[in-house]
Amino acid sequence: MIVIPAIDLREREVVRLRRGVSDTAVRFSSDPVETARSWAEAGASWIHVVDLDGAFAGAPRQLDVVERIASAVNIPIQLGGGLRCREDLEQALDAGVARVVIGSVAATDPATAEQLIAAFGERLAIAIDTRGGSVQVGGWTDGSTWRPIELIRRLSDAGAARFIVTDVERDGMLTGPNHTLLTEIAASVERPIVASGGIRAVDDLTALAAIPVEAAIVGMALYEGRFTLAEAIAAARRS
């Protein structure tokens, strides 16, 4: 299992939100490029970047910062946040990211999502952000009619390469991952699953590896010093 540190960008700074709520932002750095370098030097094999401004606006807002991050490190960058059409994805890839992530469009317009899956293949991941049993859209501000497993099955059938599954209620809260949801999804589809939201200790990583999931995205726990990235990577390797 791969451990992927997260960099959430808000107004060109590194922040973390609680449950994705805009006014809960806690700033951890004013230099996202230096943050990315620090994760690369600590052993990260991927970095997960989220353009929060783009997520709330519905279109990318910080691709210049993302480009600087991608140029500064020699590991691949995964980017989400406001990417909802082919042009957005192409611009993100042109900025140097290795993988792009769509979320809202997957739930609001699955037919378009299927076209993007066909066009971008392995370079595209699908974010399944869930709250109360439904997939969230619009920067986690609205619900949809989709249940997570139903949308995952449809897009898996369309050839989606992987799914990033986040329990919104746990994100940034350090309450532990939603093992029940992740286990159900991993058992239902033959696609790699990336777990996100709630990770608080290295024991959580051990449990996620046993599900199994392909990777775990870690944010708040790393920024608050609950454990180091090196400790997280070591725990994942042992598992």
Q: Is 8 a catalytic residue?
A: yes
Active-site hit among 88, 129, 171, 204: 129
74 three-class SS: coil
Name the residue among 62, 160, 52 with its Cα closest to residue 106.
Answer: 160
**Which two tokens mark 178?**
């939603």
101 three-class SS: strand
Name the residue among 205, 187, 203 with its Cα closest to residue 195.
Answer: 205
177 phi/psi in degrees, rounded to 5: -70, 165
**Cβ contact 217:8 at 8 Å:** no
75 three-class SS: coil
Can you tell me the distance from the alpha carbon of 105 to that of 84, in angstroms, rounded to the nearest whole number?
Answer: 6
Q: Is 203 a catalytic residue?
A: no
Written as one string, the DSSP assignment of 11-64 is TTEEEE-STT-GGG-EEEES-HHHHHHHHHHTT-S-EEEEEHHHHHHTS---HH
Active-site hit among 8, 53, 167, 204: 8
Beta bridge mates, 137: 142
**Cβ contact 131:143 at 8 Å:** yes
DSSP summary character for residue 7: E
Query: Which positions are annotated as active-site residues?
Result: 8, 129
